Amino acid sequence: MQKKTFCLPLLFLVPFIVSQPPSAAAAANDWYVRLTVKAPDDPPPIRTDKSDVFGRLHDSLNGLDSHDLPEMPPDSGEMGDGYLSIVFPHPEWGGEYDNYSSDYRAPVTDEAQGDTWKFEVRTRTPDIKTVISWEEGDSNSFAVLPRSRIKDAATGEVLVLDTGLVSSYTIEDTKEVNTYIWEYLESGRLLPANTWLMTASPCMPADPPGAEIVAQYGDDLSGTYNTDWISFKWDAANQNYVQQAGNDSLEPGIGNWNYSLNAGILDLSGTATPVIADCSIYGLTGACFAIDLVIPPAGQNRWNMVGHPLPYTVDWADVRIATFDGLFWTANSPSAAETKGFASKTYYSWNGSSYDPYDDSTPGSLGTLQPQDAIWVRSLSGSSILDAGDLKLLIPAR
């Protein structure tokens, strides 16, 4: 085949029973996803069903239990003509009802396991346009959406390759019953074909298969490295991209740009990311992972591509940007670091086609670091007074 030229993206430049998500006291491995369907072309009021959730709960069973709420059938006659709903069909449960508005299952000891949920969009007004959307549960301690995709239950066609990159799917000609499969994949990050994706290692890659890029990702992506797929990293000192060799090692804290001609699921095997058990020296209570940020020349700013090194989410408001004045370390919130001129409070995340900005204080743009995500963080000119190693991004660890 003709060798592919890889061009990197430019740097920055009718309601029924309402199902409830897990309570605040939920266990650490509880999670849920909320599904919504609406008919956007309806005259007001637009029909919307946002009462449907699925996931895993610490006190749930794999069959029917009190967490699985039945979906009441629509009224007969004109009262039910406006019916539009998402249901989880379970006639095999043998309950009073066949369909449910929630589908919770028992927890598993290893969240690397995958699973599937069948759901249906139902209506009495076929041939309309409907839109399915989804959102991560507020209490989820790890990201479910980047590990999920949606398939047509009848054909097996993948309709949404990565629910972490898009938030909705449109059914142009909705039938009375439309059946889909939500696939919660084994641990990994979906890399769509012909798409750039910023990724990071949430663990310390180890033998087997080894820490090398080809060893970790070669079984996930078809073809030959540097011909069918490629990986770059960022040289913060020189502010440019560097193509990685196939035997270069993946490291926690380091971001990577990946591109493939074919879709694949990037997963890693290894051990827990080593963290600093006591970060009080930096002014931060508890454990953390420390990432050095580049010191810019006087009067200039510099970019850092850093990788989230942990297998669970961390709110950006909880990270600290630590500075050393020669005597003491100070742990600054992102907003405080920006006020002092050391680093921007805003980081940038690639969504597959453009950059999304997040920070620690702006409503609607509050950031949360997701496992296997890499982000751009900017060192500001005020940090030029510091020595190398005296500007650190501290990510709190459990």
| Model confidence pLDDT, tens digit, residues 318-365 | 999 999 999 999 999 999 999 999 999 999 999 888 999 999 999 989
Quick one: tokens of 103? Answer: 């589908």
Does 324 reside within a domain? no
Question: What is residue 264's DSSP assignment?
Answer: E
Question: What does residue 96 show for φ and ψ, rounded to 5 degrees?
Answer: -65, -30
CA distances from 359 to 9, 217, 346, 376 (A): 22, 31, 4, 12
Does 13 reside within a domain? no
Work out whether strand 343-350 and strand 355-358 pair parallel, antiparallel, or are unpaired. antiparallel
Q: What is the pLDDT of residue 23?
A: 45
Quick one: tokens of 392? Answer: 């650190």
Q: What is the pLDDT of residue 162?
A: 80
Cβ neighbours of residue 382 under 8 Å, at least 6 residues apart? 340, 341, 342
Is the domain of 208 the same as that of 82?
Answer: no
Question: How many structural domains are present in the chain?
Answer: 2
Domain membership of residue 242 as a residue range: 190-270
Strand partners of residue 167:
none
- Report the length, in residues, of the chain: 398
Does 368 reside within a domain? no
Of residues 268, 242, 269, the one with CA closest to residue 257: 242
Quick one: tokens of 264? Answer: 């694949």
Is the domain of 47 the same as that of 136?
Answer: yes
Does 226 reside within a domain? yes
Is the domain of 170 the same as that of 202?
Answer: no
Q: What is the pLDDT of residue 148?
A: 87
CA distances from 227 to 4, 10, 233, 245, 293 (A): 6, 21, 17, 12, 32
Is the domain of 227 the same as that of 115?
Answer: no
Is the domain of 182 the same as that of 196?
Answer: no
Of 270, 287, 316, the position where a domain reaches its end is 270
65, 56 Cβ separation under 8 angstroms: no
Q: What is the pLDDT of residue 24?
A: 40
| Whether pLDDT at 21 is above 60 | no
Is the domain of 168 the same as that of 209?
Answer: no
Find where tokens 């650190």 sit.
392
Digit-coded pLDDT (tens) for 212-258: 899 888 877 888 999 999 999 999 999 999 999 999 999 999 999 99
Is the domain of 173 the same as that of 38?
Answer: yes
Cβ neighbours of residue 327 under 8 Å, at least 6 residues apart? none
Q: What is the pLDDT of residue 181?
A: 96
85, 37 Cβ separation under 8 angstroms: yes
Q: What is the pLDDT of residue 141?
A: 67
Is the domain of 38 the same as that of 172?
Answer: yes
Is the domain of 163 the same as that of 197?
Answer: no
Of residues 87, 93, 65, 64, the one with CA closest to residue 74: 87
Taking residues 18-31, what's their average pLDDT?
A: 54
| Whether pLDDT at 27 is above 70 | no
| Whether pLDDT at 97 is above 60 | yes
Question: What does residue 112 show for φ and ψ, rounded to 5 degrees?
Answer: -70, -15
Q: What is the pLDDT of residue 265?
A: 75
Of 270, 303, 318, the position where a domain reaches its end is 270
Is the domain of 104 the same as that of 160?
Answer: yes
d(CA 179, CA 171): 11
Does 127 reside within a domain? yes
Q: Given CA atoms 168, 173, 179, 181 in this order, what sign does their dihedral have?
A: negative
Quick one: tokens of 258? Answer: 């990946």
| Whether pLDDT at 267 is above 60 | yes
pTM to 2 decimal places? 0.63
d(CA 48, CA 84): 7
Is the domain of 176 the same as that of 204?
Answer: no
Does 48 reside within a domain? yes
| Whether pLDDT at 185 is above 50 | yes
Residue 77 pLDDT class (50, 70, 90 cuts): low
Taking residues 378-396, what's their average pLDDT?
A: 97
Of 163, 187, 211, the position where a domain reaches its end is 187
- The mean pLDDT value of the chain amounts to 87
Lowest mean pLDDT of 20-24, 203-207, 361-365, name the range: 20-24
| Whether pLDDT at 82 is above 80 | yes
Is the domain of 81 the same as that of 228?
Answer: no
Does 237 reside within a domain? yes
DSSP string, 332-343: E-HHHHHHTTSE
Highest mean pLDDT (candidates 5-14, 239-248, 258-267): 239-248
| Whether pLDDT at 13 is above 50 | no
Does 98 reside within a domain? yes
Neighbouring C-alpha atoms within 13 Å toward the C-beta of 226: 9
Taking residues 15-39, what's their average pLDDT?
A: 65
